[in-house]
Every structure is written in structure tokens, then in C-alpha cells.
Amino acid sequence: DADIAMYRAKESGRTSMIFDRQMHQEIVEAINLEADLRAALERDELLLHYQPIVDVQSGRIEGFEALVRWDHPDRGLVPPVRFIPLAEETGLILPLGRYVISEACRQMRDWQLAMPEAANLSVSVNVSCRQFVKDGLVDHVAGVLAETGLAPACLKLEITESVLMHDAQHTAGELNRLKALGVKIAIDDFGTGYSSLSYLRQLPIDHLKIDRSFISGDDCNGESQEIVKSIIALARSLGLTVIAEGVEHQDQLDKLRFADCDKAQGFMFSRPVDKDAALNLLREAVNGGCGCGMQEQAK
């Protein structure tokens, strides 16, 4: 028995040593990544990709969501899941977020000026909790709009329900100020949060983005379909526009069209692409099709 106990102690000692080493690795990795991210902001290694948002009935591109990428010298193109949480923890989300807002607005204004057909396109930008809490977000947005000349209604800020839950009163104030500027507000990943729905009536919200898990996620099923219908009905009664995220297949789009969903976004139309490819999507759309694999419906 003593031997067994000793053996167990050794074993657990060994596993905890392995565990420590792994934890150590992760901490070192996180520290490296943080230092890298700090430098990345200075070295201009961040860039935006753009994913079209399409009108479900007409098939036209209505706008793009700007999604940040990090072009790391060694790691290649790093997706946001790898560095946004870190940026939020370290406060780097503040300069990062400012960069994303100005770059997205500048880019959209460029496209609008370059193509008359793009004049009414909008750009959607994700905004983190921390940007709301601290950063003079509203003043920054107002400054960027003035500087770029982008019409306020062409900028949509995407926030998750967690932002609303964090400091509801402060956030409500900020949202009202954004609304007064003419900027649009979308609730991102709608249906995955835990907040009460009463905020939808109280806050100046324009759009609901139905979370991808209900459209093409691993557990999207008959129930998801019902949830999608309920969200659309809810949005209708509140006068909000609905955008379905993560549309990958024609049958998903067909269901959304049948359910009278307003807009859709997903790999079916296009993955997020760099600015040149996004411009090409717009050009293709102008030259006949809609540029998003929906030529059939658009006719």
C-alpha cells in the first residue's frame, strides 16, 4: 500500500510538473504575444478584412463587416480569436479599436467615392465592452466621421449583449449619443446572451444579428429554426432589421428568405476578404451579377 501511495505521489508530482511547465509555456506565450501586439500596433501589422452583407430578397450587397486581422511577421495571418481577448485584458483593445473604426470608415468612404453604386453601402465595426466603458468612443467616432466624410448612417457599430450588461446605465448614455450622431447600432451574436430582452425597447438599437449557431452551427436543428423565426418576429414587432450570420448553404438561405429575414452574411456569399478582393466583389456586383453567388436570385 505504501508503495502504491508513493507511486501515486510520484505520478501526481510528475503530472503537476508537466502541468506547471505547460502553464509556464502558456504564460510566456501570452507575454510574448502581448509584447508583439503592442509592437504590431506601432508597426502597422493590423489590417481589416471585409465580409459582404447581402439583402436576402434582392441579393444585393448592402455593406461589409470589417474584421480585424494581424499580419504577424512569423505567425502569418492571425485570426481575432487569438488576440482580441488578450487585447481586451491588456487594454490594447483601446488603440486597436480606434484603428479599426478609422480604417473601416476611411476605406468605406474611398469605395463610395470610387463607385457611385457604392454610395449607400455601410460598414459594420465590432466594438468591445472596454471601448464603451473608457475610451471616449463617441468623440472618436464623431471625429472619424468628420475627417473621412462618411455619412453617419453608413457606420454600424456591433456590440454584444455583454456590453449592455456590463454597465447598463453608462452604455445607454453612450448609445444615445451615438444615435444622436446618426450612427446605427447592431446587437451581434443575438440569442447567445443572457440579458433580459427589455433593453431592446429601451435602447436605440437598429439591427439584430442572429448568431451563427442558429443558422449553420453544430447544433442548429429544428429548434434553431423556430428560434430564428421568433427572433425575426420579435425584430418585426420592434421595428428592427434582422441579419443572419453564418449562412453557408443555399437551403439555409431559402429558409431565411421564406422566414422574411432582411439580410444575410456568410461563407455562401463570401468569406471575409482583403480590401482589394472586396472591391472586386463590388465591381462584379455592378457588372451584372451581385458578386456573391446569388446571380440566380438577383435576376
Which residues of this chain interact with Mg ion, rule CB under 5 A?
126, 158, 188-189, 245
Cell of 217: 452551427
Under 8 Å between Cβ of 154 and 123: yes
Is 138 near ligand C2E (CB under 6 A)? no
Q: Does 117 bind ligand C2E (CB under 6 A)?
A: no
Applying CB under 6 A, among 54, 61, 100, 294 the residue interacting with ligand C2E is 100
Number of residues that bind ligand C2E (CB under 6 A): 23
C-alpha cell at 293: 453567388
Residue 68 or 138: which CB sits closer to Mg ion? 68
**Nearest residue to 40 (alpha-carbon basis) of 88, 94, 92, 89:** 92
- φ, ψ (nearest 5 deg) of residue 176: -65, -35
How far apart are alpha carbons 259 and 31 in whole angstroms?
47
Q: Which does 68 bind (CB under 5 to 8 A by kind): Mg ion, ligand C2E, none?
A: ligand C2E
Strand stretches in 60-154, DSSP E = 61-72, 76-78, 122-126
Asked if 166 and 197 count as a contact pair (C-beta separation under 8 A), the reply is no
161 counts as binding ligand C2E under rule CB under 6 A: no
For position 262 contacting ligand C2E by CB under 6 A, the verdict is: no
Q: Which of 235, 137, 245 is nearest to 183 (CA)?
A: 137
CA angle 128, 186, 254 (to 5 degrees): 125
Q: Does 84 bind ligand C2E (CB under 6 A)?
A: yes
Q: Is residue 100 within 8 Å of residue 84, measured between CB atoms?
A: no
Kindly tell me which residue out of 102, 107, 112, 126 binds ligand C2E, with binding defined by CB under 6 A: 126
Considering the complex, what minimum distance in angstroms separates the CB of residue 186 from ligand C2E?
9
Selected from 33, 216, 285, 290, the binder of ligand C2E by CB under 6 A is 216
Q: What angle do CA 259, 247, 229 make, to 5 degrees?
A: 25
- Shortest distance, position 289 Cβ to ligand C2E, whole Å: 19
Of the candidate residues 246, 281, 292, 294, the single one contacting ligand C2E (CB under 6 A): 246
* 270 sits near ligand C2E (criterion: CB under 6 A): no
The binding site for ligand C2E (CB under 6 A) comprises 51, 67-68, 79-81, 84, 100, 126, 128, 158, 188-189, 212, 216, 245-248, 265-267, 272
